[in-house]
Amino acid sequence: MTDRTDPADATAGLTDATAGLTDATDPSAVPTDPIAVPTDPATAVPATAVPATAVLTDSDDNRRQVLYWRLLARLFDHEEQPALESASLAVVEDIGLPSALLDPGASVDSVVQRHPELAEEFDGLMTPEPEPDDTRDRAAEVRRAALASKVLLNVFSTGSGTVSAGQLARWQSDAGWLERALGCPPGGLRGGRAAGAGLTGGGLGAELGTVEADLVQRMHLREVLADPALAAKLTPSMSLIEQLLRDKGNLSGIALANAKSLIRRYVDEVAEVLRTQVEKATVGELDRSVPPKRVFRNLDVDRTIWKNLTNWSPEEERLYVDRLYYRHTVRRTTPQRLVVVVDQSGSMVDSMVNCTILASIFAGLPKVDVHLIAYDTRAIDLTPWVHDPFDVLLRTNLGGGNDGPVAMAMARPKIAEPKNTVMVWISDFYEFDRSQPLFEGIEAVHRSGVRFIPVGSVTSSGRQEVNPWFRERFKALGTPVVSGHIDKLVHELKTFLT
């Protein structure tokens, strides 16, 4: 995997990734002759008059510049530039780094296994601490440029043609190293296991997801799943799970069993992250209409002393207590109903997965009655399986159009007590000719006293796209669209349900 068919797509997120490394190179300083390289101004010798390696080792700025130009050349042109390769090799060897950093076939893992001392250098590589007194350690910048170029090329230069399970696994590992270089844990920028961890990848996170999705699409996934040895190399991710859900109807036997195993692993990993957040919620407001239970463990010592201070006897230096005060421990037991409606059209796959898992977690809380509905042009009530998100996902059929009013017709009968009900509607709200009927249904539900929460998407990157027509009307209704990051939805639900 050494080149890309569409360099513009591959490098869309590189600005964010390299922003912390150093100042950008001035293109006007780059000579048109591929062998010529910038020379130290202190020497009046033209760059073409001496060997490239001699010039490049003369200035840290020139060294760094050559490494970055090799990075760009590799990303935009699969043809190797001999002058840049030889010059880069001279730089890497001169600063004491292994030449394997320039091998496009070597993963970061393999480099680190042979040179374990480099592992720590990759952590936070692209977010270096500022130098004291605004000074620049140019030698350190060259070293960072060499290491960063390796990570960026392995992640964004993915080649073309069929991708094997081993290549996908290698890319996922290299993407993890890029995330570490940016100060995030592996998975922190991509959708998937880090969902809900509070990390947003912005444009770069979305770009990583796009590259991974492209790799998954280029795999012969059915053949890989049919081979247990190859399937074992796959690491579950949002892109892979989406592909498995779309293709599950064409799988059988060993392939289907391996697909289900991957989906189960992914569900369990994401659920563990989300469950940690949800369990931070309190179990409900104190019910002060119920007298506190008069047992010793509920005794409020501080309040008892404060309320009996008038009985203090200075002569005896003794406090006489004529009334004991106890803490309220009984919580309100009014059941809260959560109705989750999820658009399962093709553009909402990540939301479908995340919200299914989130609904199952809330369904496990005491006094929370959860109902789950999925829809495209038809609606399906998945409430009987809401406690097992794995079962829910296997019963969905991704893709198709949108018919929100059909889903609303199924959801409204589930509202028993409006003031104790929250309805979460996850969609991009592109309804074509059904927009007005859907909004009228939503408006009626909201005015009945139901807490209505529209969500544009639920992803780890927080990227969302919502029909502007709906966005403006939700804002006027007093129910603005919740930010697409799953953390925000968890917070909104905890506030209402606990």
Average pLDDT over every residue of 257-273? 85
Q: Give Rg (Cα) of the chain.
A: 29
Average pLDDT over every residue of 334-353? 75
| pLDDT number for residue 484 | 57
Amino acid, res. 419: K
284 φψ region: left (φ > 0), alpha (ψ -120 to 50), beta (else)? left
In sequence order, what E strands does 314-467 have? 318-319, 336-343, 368-375, 379-381, 421-426, 451-455
Share of the chain above pLDDT 70, in %: 74
CB 55 within 8 A of CB 84: no
d(CA 371, CA 385): 10
CB 404 within 8 A of CB 424: no
Q: Which of 35-39, 319-323, 331-335 has the lowest mean pLDDT?
A: 35-39
Query: Is the pLDDT score of 83 beyond 70?
Result: yes
- Structure confidence by residue, pLDDT tens digits, 86-106: 999 999 999 999 998 998 888
| pLDDT number for residue 464 | 60
Which helix (DSSP H) or strand (DSSP E) does residue 303 occupy? Answer: helix 301-307
Q: Which of 231-245, 271-285, 414-428 has the lowest mean pLDDT?
A: 271-285
d(CA 362, CA 493): 9
Output 302 or 247, whichever has higher pLDDT. 302
| pLDDT number for residue 277 | 63
> Phi first, then psi: what are they for 310, rounded to 5°?
-70, -15
- 318-319 and 312-313 strand pairing: antiparallel
| pLDDT number for residue 202 | 52
Q: CATH for 336-497?
A: 3.40.50.410
DSSP string, 115-178: -GGGHHHHTTTTSPPPPGGG---HHHHHHHHHHHHHHHHHHH--BSS-B-HHHHHHHHHHHHHH
Helix axes 349-363, 253-278, angle to 10 degrees: 60
| pLDDT number for residue 15 | 45
Tokens matching residue 83: 């002058």
For 86, other C-beta atoms within 10 Å of its C-beta total: 15
Average pLDDT over every residue of 40-66? 55
Query: Is the pLDDT score of 22 beyond 50?
Result: no
- Roughly how many angstroms between the first and final C-alpha of the chain, as a whole number? 50
d(CA 342, CA 455): 10
Residue 429: HSE in the Cβ half-sphere, 13 Å Cα cutoff: 24
Query: Is the pLDDT score of 152 beyond 90?
Result: yes
> What are the distances in angstroms from CA 264 to CA 7, 236, 300, 397?
35, 9, 47, 17
Q: Which of 157-166, 260-269, 445-454 has the lowest mean pLDDT?
A: 157-166
- Structure confidence by residue, pLDDT tens digits, 398-457: 666 778 899 999 999 999 889 889 898 988 888 777 789 999 999 999 999 999 988 886
User: What are the residues whose beta carbons fall under 8 Å from the beta carbon of 371, sequence distance 6 or more?
Assistant: 337, 338, 339, 340, 381, 383, 386, 411, 414
d(CA 486, CA 140): 38
d(CA 236, CA 357): 15
| pLDDT number for residue 150 | 93
CB 330 within 8 A of CB 408: no
Angle at 272 between CA 260 and CA 362, to 5 degrees: 95
Share of the chain above pLDDT 90, in %: 18
| pLDDT number for residue 243 | 80
| pLDDT number for residue 186 | 67
Using alpha carbons, select from 277, 262, 200 the residue that is nearest to residue 228: 262
| pLDDT number for residue 498 | 53
> If pLDDT is split at 50, 70 and 90, which confidence band does 286 have?
low
Using alpha carbons, select from 423, 125, 471, 458 the residue that is nearest to residue 274: 458
Query: Is the pLDDT score of 45 beyond 50?
Result: no
CB 210 within 8 A of CB 13: no
* Per-domain boundaries in the chain: 7-235, 286-330, 336-497
Average pLDDT over every residue of 99-120? 89
Using alpha carbons, select from 458, 480, 482 the residue that is nearest to residue 471: 480
d(CA 69, CA 101): 15
> What are the distances in angstroms from CA 47 to CA 29, 36, 57, 437?
12, 5, 12, 70
- Structure confidence by residue, pLDDT tens digits, 164-213: 878 888 888 898 899 889 888 766 676 544 333 333 345 677 788 788 87
Query: Is the pLDDT score of 337 beyond 70?
Result: yes
Query: Is the pLDDT score of 37 beyond 50?
Result: no
CA 16 to chain CA mean position, Å: 16
Q: Which of 46-50, 265-269, 301-305 has the lowest mean pLDDT?
A: 46-50
Q: Which residue has the tokens 């893992």?
A: 109
- Structure confidence by residue, pLDDT tens digits, 358-411: 788 777 776 778 899 988 888 889 999 888 888 888 887 766 677 889 999 999
Query: Is the pLDDT score of 281 beyond 60?
Result: no
What is the model's pTM?
0.56
Q: Which of 71-75, 265-269, 332-336 has the lowest mean pLDDT?
A: 332-336
Average pLDDT over every residue of 248-269? 87
* Backbone CA torsion sign across 471, 475, 477, 481: positive
Report which listed range, 39-48, 50-59, 276-285, 447-456, is most confident. Answer: 447-456
| pLDDT number for residue 6 | 45
d(CA 372, CA 392): 9
d(CA 202, CA 63): 31
